[in-house]
Amino acid sequence: MSSQKTSQGGRAPSRRRGHERVATLLAAASACFVEKGFDAATMTEIAARAEASIGSLYQFFPTKEALAEALLSEHANGLNERMERLVAQTPDWTTEELAARLIRTFVDYRKQHPAMVTLTEVAGALPSMLGRTIRQRMRDYLSQILAIHAPRIPAGELRPAAMVVQQMMKAAVALESEQPATLRKAAQNQLQQALALYLTELASRP
């Protein structure tokens, strides 16, 4: 669910109508960023797509960077909610099921929210602290999942293992651009098998 927060000096909505307006602006920004990229998209185009005045857009988001930051934060919150559900469900899954869920998490979420990919690839456009916060939060969740699945793994090895799993999840996203589809699916299946073997090795630590 959207937090409906603005940033970098923008006014936070206080009424339902304001929340709805911000949601419309964010949706318009998402579409423009995906179609044109962050650099080419303009605030004027975003306002027009949202059928809002440019003044209304600047009221909530003084800069394009502030708008992108709010949008990325919203997507990150949604991904965090999904990861929380994964943590809660981890005890019920076999190693193979967990590997499958992890591999599909980034792929499915980024497919549903393509602007997240666009914005995370923008070098220097967003505060570096935001990107670090998103990565660290993801590693927190993965550390929790690994602690449940592989309870004997030493605490000092959880974070490095979480980073390895995170990179394998990102690799699944990178494979989404591969063609033909049959080759892509075969590669993702092999990546899932590799993750399952890694999870099995972690869980079998004495």
Rounded to the nearest 10 degrees, the angle between the axes of helix 128-149 and helix 155-174 is: 110
The pLDDT assigned to 124 comes to 54
Q: What is the pLDDT of residue 46?
A: 97
- Contact yes or no for 139/162 (Cβ under 8 A): yes
Q: Looking at residue 16, what is its pLDDT?
A: 66
- Per-residue pLDDT, 13: 53
Give pLDDT, residue 85. Answer: 96
Token pair of 203 as six digits: 């869980």
pTM of structure: 0.83
Set out the domains of the chain in order of their start, with CATH numbers: 16-65 (1.10.10.60), 72-203 (1.10.357.10)
What does 149-166 look like in DSSP terms, one character per residue? H-TTS-HHHHHHHHHHHH
The pLDDT value given to residue 11: 56
Q: Which residue has the tokens 């980034």?
A: 106
Residue ranges in the chain modelled with pLDDT below 50:
1-5, 7
Task: Supply the pLDDT for residue 154.
Answer: 92
> Residues 6 or more apart from 205 whose CB is under 8 A from it?
150, 152, 153, 154
CA separation for the pair 173, 7 (Å, rounded):
29
Distance of alpha carbon 89 from alpha carbon 127, whole angstroms: 33
